[in-house]
Amino acid sequence: MNEPLIIASSARTAALCLAAPGARHFLPARTEWRLSSTEGDERRGETATVVTLLHDLLPDTGYLFEAEGFAALEFRTSPCAGLVEAAAFSLAPDVALDDEEGARANAEALERAVATVPHGGTLRLAAGLWTSFPVRLKSNMTFHLAEGAVLRAPSSRKGWPILPARDDAGHMLGSWEGLPDACFAAPVHAIGTDNLIIEGRGVLNGSGDRGDWWSWPKETRDGARRPRGLHLVSCRKIQLLGFTIKNAASWTIHPQGCEDLIAAGLTINAPHDSPNTDGFNPESCRNVTISGVRFSVGDDCIAVKAGKRGPDGEDDHLAETRGILVRHCLMERGHGGLVIGSEMSGGVHDVSVEDCDMVGTDRGLRLKTRRGRGGIVSNIAMRRVLLDGVQTALSANAHYHCDADGHDERVQSRQPAPIDKGTPFIDGIIVEDVEIRNLAHAAGVFLGLPEAPIRNVAIRNLTIVSRDPSAIAAPPIMADRVRPMRHEAIVVEQTHIVCDDPAMLSDASISTVSDRD
């Protein structure tokens, strides 16, 4: 009998894991369940996904969950110190996207509502269309998005609050691609909070498609970079449960310097052509679990980061990322399924992606760095993952041509360079029980530095089921002087690799012959 597990719970929501054997994001078949409470209430339903959310529970109540093929599970919801209705603070529905005055009035109403929530209480946003400038949440509260609730950002950035690059103590606050930088505040954000829960069946809409945000992806306007969709800075003990977030102006969810965060059962959406709308980017974080999340975005689905050295070697803002667990997620589209870097100067360690489906992403597991970054990436694992229609299944690239100088010879040269604090190291990648369907370019491409080869790569039970007959040969990684590939197996340069199927390892080069001579 399979044992269901509690991933996270609050006063009104529980996230369960129904890990049937062989199940990744979806269960083998739709499964009926029954939920009964000690108060005598009973409800029934069915689920198709391993990670299942139970909504609208009663606070401080015992429950018994029963599902076909699973052992019974008893749990108790948390108490709630008080329920505050956002609508009680003159929050106006149906404010137009270009109504700056109405959106600002709603932001002030939400600010008053947040201030009223007692320690351990809940702010509930009822069903309706609510337009608001950014709202900042606080510690020891739950922000509950009821079914049918849509909290959206306005289309205008006039008067939009800006986070400075650093706080009064000099710590990084606003950021852009791994460096301290002023940025527009996210529509929902929290700074230095503990014990925060955002939950429900409602929607956070960043309205990136309604303003001009997507027309200046790498620029600064009005003194700031684009906002994230949900920005959590220096927070601890965070739960993100069940809601949908879409159309962020840039990265969708960005935990920065956070610890002990759980995200379960979210839906993260952005148009496939929206610039830099990564799904979930934990940066300089510890102990993050991403479970049962469904992604369809314009850039990487998940990009694990740890800051970037400044152009003159500045590193006082750097901190490592350690302990990232990704399970039972569905990545549909996106540049990469699980990506590490390229901002990894603080070091990225102990990252696992397990029991996931990656469908139509450009790459599956992707590591990217370059000379000048420094830092160490270690102990990366991918297990029991299906890659379907992925162009390059596995890649690690230490010649990534990012930033203004990314094509310079000092970045792209295949000749050894002196080792210094800007030398990046990759040590320890395990890939097990991975299935590839409709492969386009290559099953694996590992391009290390001659002065710092990629070390300790182990591949076991990797299966190529089929290849995409319509695939067109193209360079499989973003580095200069890389030859086009089509339907290739595992190709390596400056990499120490062991594979249980030697036939998977190609003798062909990655770099063009003229560059290797």
Q: Which residues are catalytic?
A: 299, 335
Give the up-direction half-sphere exposure of residue 495: CA atoms within 13 A in the CB hemisphere.
Answer: 27
- Please provide the DSSP assignment of 174-218 as one string: SEETTEE--EEPPSEEEES-EEEEEEES-EEE--TTTSSGGG-TT
CA–CA separation, 486 vs 442, rounded Å?
A: 6
CA–CA separation, 207 vs 14, rounded Å?
A: 29
* DSSP type of residue 390: -
Alpha helices in 294-376 (DSSP H): none
**Residue 157 CB burial class (10 angstroms; 0-12, 13-18, ≥19):** buried
Q: CA dist 352 to 281, 284, 324, 332, Å?
A: 15, 16, 6, 19
Instruction: Give the residue from 191, 244, 252, 196 showing the smallest Cα distance to 227.
Output: 252
CB distance 101 to 158 below 8 Å: no
List, in order, residues 6 or more apart from 317 with CB less than 8 Å away.
171, 172, 179, 180, 307
C-alpha 157, offset from chain centre? 25
Beta-bridge mates of residue 449: none
CB distance 308 to 178 below 8 Å: yes
Question: How many Cβ atoms from other residues are within 10 Å of residue 94's Cβ?
Answer: 10
The separation between the first and the last C-alpha atoms of the chain, rounded to the nearest angstrom, is: 60
CA–CA separation, 371 vs 451, rounded Å?
A: 10
Sign of CA dihedral 402, 385, 439, 499: positive
**Cis omega before residue 342 (within 30°)?**
yes
List, in order, residues 6 or more apart from 506 with CB less than 8 Å away.
488, 489, 490, 491, 492
CA–CA separation, 277 vs 274, rounded Å?
A: 6
Q: Token pair of 453, please?
A: 């080869």
